[in-house]
Structure 1
């Protein structure tokens, strides 16, 4: 996602590159406390994950980390906004900065491309998924030449 943010900043030059790249790098940091994972890769919600979610926990971590340090308060506030609003829907936190709009869309594209790529790994060229892919709400077709 950082590479996508960096590339898009060269297209949309009015974006705050430092803010967007930082947001892309750490927007999901709260997931470290939202889930417990096993060595097999299974994940289960922690009690805090259920009660608060990764948006709040990530923003809280950044707020604690920056408190009492010499960080620009407005930049911290903008970063907190990116973390709290990156899901992009008003009910999940309003997106008001162009960087937040961009981060939401990069995150959405990243998730959808992961779904495509993980399905393609198990498909031969010329095949279509038997079922609609959750999150994409469509079947995927893998071209024969792929």
Structure 2
């Protein structure tokens, strides 16, 4: 998949996140840095649901990827960077944002917040990532 195809896919996935969050969580996302607080709220709700009854692997994959796409688009809009497909491990390819020789796997961060560690803040992760690349 070429860079422009990946970018288009991630932009579409981010729009899917906006629709999902509006429909299922009654929050309006606007691609601002402040909206990442809403993403954290949604991921916290998903984490709580996951603790009560596990989501299917397919749903976890989809939610992690659309939320990660949204976070990545917010990051790119505010700090720059581009989407990159990492296929070094054919069994576990992933898409991340690259900027200044750094890689930010936002979907992975979302997945870990849902499944393992609700104390993770996507908003804080983006702030830290921005600080790293702006040094």
Same fold at TM > 0.5: no
Q: Which is greater in Rg?
A: 1
TM-score by length of 2: 0.31
Higher RCO, 1 vs 2 (CA within 8 Å, ≥6 residues apart): 2
Query: Quick check: which one's strand share is greater?
Result: 2
